[in-house]
Structure 1
Amino acid sequence: MATNENLPPNVVKQLVKELKNLDESPPEGIKVVVNEDNFSTIYADIEGPAGTPYENGIFRMKLILSQDFPQSPPKGYFLTKIFHPNIATNGEICVNTLKKDWNPSLGLRHVLLVVRCLLIEPFPESALNEQAGKMLLENYEEYARHARILTGIHALKPKPKIIPTKALTTDQINGGNLSQDQKNLAPMLPLASNVAPATGKAAGGLEPSLPVNQSITEAGVGGSTAAMVNTGQTKESGLAKVQTDKKKIDARKKSLKRL
């Protein structure tokens, strides 16, 4: 396995500086993946540029640095399968920057930007994939269709998880009975306590956790019935108290007569 020992100390020092800069200020659409134990292989994820057949795709590539880097250019490979004139079926990248136009003063940032630009403007004249190069020159629509198909199969971004937007009760949120995604979204979701009694719906038109009929019964008819029951109970309690007081007065009268 190659390690940083395969590169001269001054080159490793320069690479550390470059990689730190790429991490703190990444180029548009490019994310570098660093293995601190082995700078001789640099990985990067490249977003398919908008308006190209590679749009919405994420393509993993690598740059392999030779022992005499930067005197010799790195070798570039796409690890994600892609249909492109300048990228061979084994992933090898053909671009002048990595061949005859190489200059030791060129940094990794420049190389990565050139590779991403290659997805925007291919060069069929120096094609490694002859089928893609010929198709691009003779029938661009067919070339683009083929490239989109492979992008959809091999490089499509994973879809974000969809969290059900049903009302959450305070007990559910505080009780920890939710997934991490639901906890993160809880402040943005309506609480079941916000349900409007007349409609049985929460703010924003979301369905409450209780059935509509049950909400109406409890808040409407059920509420009136409860009030009537409470009124009846109050009256019964009052009558019982009056009867008790009357019995006490009659008993006192009988005691006075005896005296």
Structure 2
Amino acid sequence: MATNENLPPNVIKQLAKELKNLDESPPEGIKVGVNDDDFSTIFADIEGPAGTPYENGVFRMKLLLSHDFPHSPPKGYFLTKIFHPNIATNGEICVNTLKKDWNPSLGLRHVLTVVRCLLIEPFPESALNEQAGKMLLENYEEYARHARLYTGIHAFKPKPKFKSGAISESTTALNVDQSNASLLKIDQKNQLTAAAVPLPSNTAALKGVNGQEHPTSVAPLAETGVSGSAVVSGTATQKKELGSVKVQPDKKKMDARKKSLKRL
């Protein structure tokens, strides 16, 4: 197993700087992982680009750095099975950046970005998977169907992404709903209080001893919309107050009745 001891100190220092940069500012659709004890193997998870047969899939790959890196290019392999003209059945990646177009000044970010671009634009002319290359040239729909099938079976599922502010918006909406619920409870309480003490409008009134007016009728339960306890209590109070009213008899009528009885 290769270790950091197999790489020159200046290369290790450069790789550590690149890996830190990749971690803090990863390329679009790429997440890099590494073993701190072995910089010679770089792992990366690549999201299938939108609009390609690899969409909705995450593919794991690795870059193997030789002892004379960066003078010689790394070797790239897909660890996740994928149907692609430039990726062999054993996962080996064929791309010019990792072969004749290699330049020691190229960093890991550039290499990983080129590999992801390969998923967008394959090169069937330099195919390692002859079946995929031939199918891509002759029948793209059939090629795309095979690629989507491999993606659905072998690729990882991407983690859901949240839009900026989506969580806070959901929380705000929840708080608004709760506030509305509280207001509703308060409103219902106010309605209950108002219904329990019906107003004396449109009712006949009878003046009592104290000169106060007392309603002689009470709204039915169906109109108040509350339990009958408040209405019954109100009725009992009214009866009690009405009972305290003394009605004086008419003296003239009493005298007339007595005269008529005497005549008999």
TM-score by length of 1: 0.67
Map Cα deviations across residues 130-178 of structure 1 (whole Å, 9 max, x no partner). 11111111111111111111112222534749xxxxxxxxxxxxxxxxx
2:26 equivalent to 1:26: yes
**Unaligned residue ranges in structure 2 (runs of 5+):** 162-166, 185-220, 245-264
Which residue identity does 1:42 align to in structure 2? I
Give the aligned partner of residue 188 of structure 1.
Answer: 173
- Identify if the C-alpha distance between structure 1 residues 224 and 5 changes in structure 2 by more than 3 Å, giving closer, same or farther: farther
2:63 equivalent to 1:77: no
CA–CA distance in structure 2, aligned partners of residues 72 and 19 of structure 1: 19
Q: Which runs of 4+ in 1 moved over 6 A?
A: 240-243
- Identify if the C-alpha distance between structure 1 residues 159 and 43 changes in structure 2 by more than 3 Å, giving closer, same or farther: closer
TM-score by length of 2: 0.66
- Identify if the C-alpha distance between structure 1 residues 197 and 14 changes in structure 2 by more than 3 Å, giving closer, same or farther: closer
Which residue identity does 1:79 align to in structure 2? L
Give the aligned partner of residue 164 of structure 1.
Answer: none
2:23 equivalent to 1:37: no
Give the aligned partner of residue 104 of structure 1.
Answer: 104
Map Cα deviations across residues 42-66 of structure 1 (whole Å, 9 max, x no partner). 1111121222211222111110111
Give the aligned partner of residue 192 of structure 2.
Answer: none
TM-superposed deviation, 1:234: 3.7
TM-superposed deviation, 1:22: 1.6
CA–CA distance in structure 2, aligned partners of residues 91 and 20 of structure 1: 27
Give the aligned partner of residue 63 of structure 2.
Answer: 63
Give the aligned partner of residue 16 of structure 1.
Answer: 16
Larger Rg: 2
Higher strand share: 2
TM-superposed deviation, 1:2: 3.2
Matches within 5 A, 1:1-259: 1-155=1-155, 157-158=157-158, 160=160, 185-189=170-174, 191=177, 194=180, 224-226=224-226, 228-236=228-236
Residue 39 of structure 2: SS of its match in structure 1?
coil
Aligned residues: 203
